[in-house]
Structures are given as C-alpha cells and as structure tokens.
Amino acid sequence: MPGDLVVPDGALGVVVFVHGSGSSRFSPRNRYVAGALNEAGLGTLLFDLLTPEEEADRANVFDIELLAGRLLERTAQVREHPGAAGLPVGYFGASTGAAAALWAAAEPDNPVAAIVSRGGRPDLAGDRLAAVRAPTLLIVGGRDPVVMELNEEAARRLRAETRITVVPGATHLFEEPGALDAVAEHARGWFVTHFVNTRGSRPATLK
C-alpha cells in the first residue's frame, strides 16, 4: 500500500500517521499537521491502511486489530529504511486510527517512543490500553463532549504517562480557525520532548 515518507536532515524521529475511518494518506488535516512536524525537524510517514477493495467493506474500517497489524508492518519498514534507521518512532492517530496506534503500541516488542491522538477513539483499543508503555497525549476539541468522555475513560485505563489536552472551541474535526494549529503545536512539543528523551537514553542505537 502506498505511503509518503519525509525525513528532514538531522531528524529527531519519525511520526507515523494513522488515519481514521473514511480517511486516507491524503487527509488534509493530517497532511497539515505533518507539514508542521517536518518544519520542526521531525520525519513523517502517511500511508493507506487499507486497499480500495478493503475500504469498500465498512467493517474493515473499524477492525482495530487489522489496522494495528498494518501499522506494525509499516513501523518495521520505517525502522529498516536507510533514511530513518535508528530514529525513535512515534504514532499520530485520528479517530479510529488512535485506537489502532494504541493497540500496536501495546505489543511487547514495539518500543514506540510517543503517541498523540487527535479527536481519537482510544477506548476502542479496549483491554490493550493497560499494556501501552508509550507516553500518550490525547487532544480533544472543547466542543466534542462525547469524544471527551471516551478519552477520559481511556485515560483512566492507560498506565503510561498520559495527558488530555483540550483545544477550546474546537469540534471533532478541528475545522475552526486556529484549531489545527493548536493540534500541531501540542503534537510537536510532545514528540520533540519524548524523542529527545528516547535518544538520550539509547545513544548507541542511533546513526
């Protein structure tokens, strides 16, 4: 399945985007955030989780285990890519993609460095939440009360470092003026902080 990998010179790490239901690697919101991360010296990968034929079956869009499996495959490829080898890897998930990111992060041999969820459904990761070890930032719109409640529920089940950040006035898609800028700023700070910490603790693995 196709993907777009960008790794700036001297990148601190690579953020793999996990889009939500009904979206793709061409999601304008994810591409906007990815551009902001690139400007901050972070690599990004946007890729399609499903083939067009698979997307035709709506059940696949909500098959979190399937999506997480695809994410794990791409994560392994990123870690082996010459331009990204040795760099910390993080996940940016939206909607159901956030659940897939957390599901994949719960794998014991997946040392993902940080996770950010934008308007996500982390609750759909179910019992896997307790096994997540990566620091997780849950970004929720202030005018998205149902998703807020679901994120609060998930945060209580996460045992890793967890923070809920509310973007005032934003609805589920963060379409309001300045809302995506706020998402990008929060995500950038979270990834930079935890990528630097990861690199500092494992210098021998870096290139």
Residue 207: predicted pLDDT: 23
Residue 40: predicted pLDDT: 95
Q: Is 6 helix (H, G, I), strand (E, B) or coil?
A: strand
Nearest-Å Rg of the Cα atoms of the chain is: 15
Calpha distance 193→104 (Å, rounded): 21
Residue 150: predicted pLDDT: 97
Calpha distance 144→95 (Å, rounded): 12
Mean pLDDT by 10 residues, the chain (207 residues): 86 93 75 95 92 80 91 94 94 95 97 96 96 98 97 97 98 95 98 85 31
Calpha distance 81→1 (Å, rounded): 16
Give the dihedral sign, CA 66/132/158/170. negative
Domains of the chain: 3-200 (3.40.50.1820)
Calpha distance 15→125 (Å, rounded): 20
Task: Name residue 153's amino acid.
Answer: E
Calpha distance 22→168 (Å, rounded): 25
